Every structure is written in C-alpha cells, then in structure tokens.
Amino acid sequence: MNLSVTWDARAASHLLSRTSFGGTLAQAEKLAARALPDAVAALIDVAKEAAPPPKPEWVKEPWVNTERVYPETTPMERMENHRKTGQRHAAERDQLRCWWLDHMARTAAPFREVVTLFWHGHFTTEARRATIAQALYEQNAKLRKHALGSFRELLGAVALDAAMMMYLNMEDSDAKKPNENFARELLELFTVGIGNYTERDIKEVARALTGWTLDAPPGTAKRPTVADAPRTFCRDGLVPTFVKDKHDAGAKSVLGKSGNFGANEVLDIVAAHPATARFVSAKLIAFFGAADPKNELRDRMASKFRQTNGDIATTLGVLLTAPEFYAKESRGTLIKSPVHLLVGTCRLLNLDATFTPSLAQVTAAMGQELFNPPNVKGWPGGRDWISAGTLAVRYHLPEALFDGKQPDGFEPLAGDRNFALPADEKARRDLLARIQAADRQRKESRKKDGFKVTFDAAKAADGTDPTDAGKLVRALVAKMLAVPPAADALAALTDAVTAVPAAERAKLACRLILTTPEYQLA
C-alpha cells in the first residue's frame, strides 16, 4: 500500500464522497486548492458550527402519554386509545424519517449528518421496540449535538436517553432486580468490545446503573394509573430521573476498578478504557471505508483518542488525513448505504425532492430503515447491503426519482409495530382487523403521497451543453462515479445518449449511470 497522499481534485472528490454524500467537480477543485489538513479542518469546523435543524412540529414539551390507563378507563377505551396512539406514533415515525432525509439532502453541513448517521448505527435503537417518535427524535438530536464532540459526553447523553432506556430495559432496573441488557451492550457494542470484559463486569455495571427511570418533568401533576398496567400504559414522561431508593449503592468492581459506583463513574471507566479507543476507531475506519490491514491507522487514531480524552473530531481528523484513507485500495471500494445512495443522488443531481413517506421507504426497501435497524448491532454494512432483492430495488431507483413511479418491492418486509393482543378472542379478532385496515390505509397513504421529485437537466449536468453528448457524458461520469467505467461501457453510454434529442440527454445519461454497478460504490 502506498502510504503517501497525492492531494488533488480526485482525492478531494473521494473525501467528499465519503464525508458529504458526494460532491461536484467544482466543490472538489475548491477543496483541493487548500492543503489537506486545512481542507479537513474546514470540513470539520463547518460541521461543528452548523445550527441544528428545526424540530418536527409534532414534538411537544412536555410529552404527554395519550394511552395512560386510569381506574375509570374501560377496556374498550383502553384498546381504542392504544390503537389511536399507535397510529399517531407510526405516522410520526414516518414523518421523522422524512424530516431527517430532507435535512441530509439540503444541509450545508453534510459531514455532520454523515457522522450522526454513523452514531445512529453505533448506538442503535429499534423503533419496533422503542415506538415513541418523540423519544427517537430526542435521541437523534443528542447524537447530532455530540457527533463531533467528546465521546464521554456523547456516551452519557445516550446512556440516559429515553429511547435507549426503553429499548434496553433500563427504565425499571432497580437494586432488587438489575436488568443487564444495557450493561451488556454498553460493553460489547458501544465501548470496549468482546474480549475486554467478563460476565462479572456486566453484572456489576448493571448494578451501578440501577435507579434510573423515565418520569414527567419536575413539578408536573400526575394522576395514578391502575396498579397492574404495563409500562406502556403508565409511563408519565420521557425525562430520565434518578430514584435513589432504587439504586444499588454497594461496592462494585468494573474492569479492574472498585468503588461505590453509579452511572457516571461506570461511564467514566468504560470511556477511558484503552480498548474503547481501539474499538471506536476501528468502527470509524470501517464506516468511512479506509483500508487498514495491519491496524496501523486504528492504532494512530486510538492514540489520538486517548490523548484528547476521546475528542471525536480530532480522532476523525487523523482518519481523514491518513494515507490509508486515500490509498488506491480505499477508493471506490465502499458500497453505498441506502441512505447514502438516496441522499447522495438527490444532492449530486440537484433534485428538488419532497421527502414523502413513500420516498423515505425507498431506503427501507434497500435494507436501511432509519430509526429501525435490524437489531442492537445496527446495520452490518459492506457487502451485506447487497442481495438479490435490494439490488433490484437499487436499480429501480431512477423510476422513483425520474418517473415518480413506485415499483414493486419498495415496501419493507416487516413493520415496526409493537403491541399486545388481548386475551378475549373476539377482542383479538377486532383488534387485528383494525390493524390490518390501518396497514392498508397507511400503504395507500404512502402511495398517494408518491414520489415528489423534480429533475432539472441543467442543474443535474451543472450547465454542461447537451448538444455535445460526449462531453455531457464525461462530465456526468466524472461527477457521479467514484470508479471510472470501462472504455467500452463509456462508449456504449455515449452512443445511447447521442441517439436521443438534446433535451432528453441529461436525464437519460443520469438514469443509465444510476443503474451501473460503479454507481453503487463510493
């Protein structure tokens, strides 16, 4: 591997492809005019300084649980409140995905969204289990706020987060019966990684994390619910609250350190552990697609991570200026995630896209439904993005973006609903019938929303004159492909574009490029 960096427009284009969902030749040339360290520093500074996106209009302060069950609530009212609340949460989750995709497509600081997307797959929360859209929004806001800051602060924000506490069963963990779910994932998937902890460490961490629950904001008046109501029906709020009487205050031993630890002390220990620096660095390298066969880049990043007490931006600076990142083995080798593919296409071609639920479902059909990863490990990425089904959807992407059509297969294989069926057979049949009707209505609503995308040939081609088909094709290929096509493929593409009227050439060229294997790579 060549461990020197030739910093030019091609290298800058590679940087933009990995950090900004792609970039135009003009953007790459402007970036390449600066020294590599300055270019990366500017990219990071813009991301850190960008204002957060406005909240979705349905986010309320304080959040109100509309399916609470009181002593006077009848079984029918309980079921109806649950049904209506479930429908509202489902609609809000659809809107949340649209909200984030829209921001990713339009933001002037795409690198921050790329890093937020990384943390979204690292600190995972499945919407099918943590169903409250406002909690998912609040977690997303925390990930964005801390995306390029202190890892320890990010870890603290996520650990005591409503969506995470619901997802990994921490909100009712107490001294009498510590729940180990979050403790296990904290060590295995979020910080030190497998091989660097024991089962005893998991149990001790779980004890240290007891006593936290979710409650209404301080001073909020609360009415008592029925005594045996499941958590869904008696949750007062989404505010992480410490209940001292439920905390295990005894001595604990975690990763070789002992003391009367609580949540803060445990998070300090795992964040500062040397294995965490290596684990997080390796995941960043994999996400951004750098070739590091000997782990030399990982070790340099881990060293910087420890020196800076886990400063994420500085650690990423090591990655994005590293020779390994710009090596031949690292270019055009990363399969684009579905979100990268959709958002990058909209940004590269300057598409005027309204992110409807139908359009947002495109990423789900390709295997990446935002806020709903397949499990606590997140999306595996890489070659796992490609299967017979998802590849077919990828190649149908132009139909959605250029023709406004919804091809078969754009609905995900499973929903993200979480509900309990009543014991009574008639009530169960009635509930299932209403759920099926709601599913049909939701699908029809998505189809009705459709794909609201406008293609502007001049914007897509950056003003390149379509009368010269060869020049137009070369410009679009250079803009859209990280890996140049073979000479015969380029000739065939040029011949196809030449054969249509000038006004149709840009759209046809873009359509054909989008369906090439090369376009799947960043």
Percent of the chain with pLDDT over 90: 85
Check residues 62 and 435 and name the one with the higher pLDDT.
62
Confidence (pLDDT) at 450? 77
| Strands (DSSP E) found in 350-424 | 352-354
Cα–chain center distance at 509: 30
**Confidence tier at 217 by pLDDT (50, 70, 90):** very high
Q: For residue 84, what pLDDT band results from cuts at 50, 70 and 90? A: very high
DSSP state of 52: P
Q: What are phi and psi of 132, to 5 degrees?
A: -75, 115
DSSP annotation of 486 reads P
Alpha-carbon torsion, ordered 475, 480, 482, 486, to 10 deg: -60
Whether this model's pTM surpasses 0.85: yes
| pLDDT per position as a tens digit, 157-198 | 999 999 999 999 999 999 999 999 999 999 999 999 999 999
Mean predicted confidence (pLDDT) in 195-205: 98
pLDDT, residue 4, reads: 85
> Residue 325 pLDDT more than 90?
yes
**Degrees, nearest 5: CA angle 513-515-520:** 90
Domain boundaries along the sequence of the chain: 37-54+68-330, 338-454, 457-520
- Between residues 368 and 219, the one the model is more confident about: 368
Q: How confident is the model at residue 406 (pLDDT cuts 50, 70, 90)?
A: confident
Report residue 185 as tokens. Answer: 């994932």
pLDDT at 487 over 70: yes
Query: Quick one: pLDDT at residue 416?
Result: 43
The predicted structure's pLDDT at residue 411: 53
Q: How many CA atoms lie within 13 A of 374 on its CB side?
A: 13
Question: Between these two residues, 330 and 446, which has the higher pLDDT value?
Answer: 330
d(CA 79, CA 445): 24
Q: Which of 232-241, 418-427, 446-455 has the highest mean pLDDT?
A: 232-241
The pLDDT score that the predictor gives to residue 13 is 96
Share of the chain above pLDDT 70, in %: 92
- Environment class of 108 (CB within 10 Å of its CB; exposed 0-12, middle 13-18, buried 19+): exposed
Cα angle 453, 363, 26 (rounded to 5 degrees) comes to 60
Rg (CA), the chain: 25
If you average pLDDT over residues 364-380, what whole number do you get? 96
Average confidence (pLDDT) over 345-355: 96
Sorting pLDDT into bands at 50, 70 and 90, what band is 412? very low
Residue 418 predicted with pLDDT over 50? no
244, exposed or middle or buried, with CB in 10 Å at 0-12, 13-18, 19+?
Answer: exposed
- The pLDDT-based confidence of 404 (bands split at 50, 70, 90) is confident
**Average pLDDT value over all residues in the chain:** 92
Whether the CB-CB separation of 25 and 13 falls below 8 Å is answered with yes
pLDDT level of residue 437 (50, 70, 90 thresholds):
low
Could you give the CA distance from residue 213 to residue 517 in angstroms, rounded to a whole number? 49
* Rounded Cα gap, residues 163 and 129, in angstroms: 9
Q: Are 50 and 107 in contact (CB under 8 A)?
A: yes
Residue 419 banded pLDDT, cuts 50, 70, 90: very low
Residue 415 predicted with pLDDT over 70: no
Per-residue pLDDT, 127: 95
The whole-number pLDDT of residue 258 equals 98
Q: Which of 62-76, 136-150, 221-235, 393-407 has the highest mean pLDDT?
A: 136-150
Q: What is the pLDDT of residues 439-480, one digit of tens each?
A: 566 556 555 577 889 999 999 999 999 999 999 999 999 999
Of the candidate ranges 224-228, 237-241, 280-284, the one whose mean pLDDT is the lowest: 224-228
Per the CB < 8 A criterion, the answer to whether 187 and 204 are in contact is: no
Tell me the pLDDT tens digit for each residue of 21-36. 999 989 999 999 999 9
Q: Average of pLDDT values for 86-99?
A: 96
What was the pLDDT predicted at 511?
96
Contact 447, 357 (CB under 8 A): no
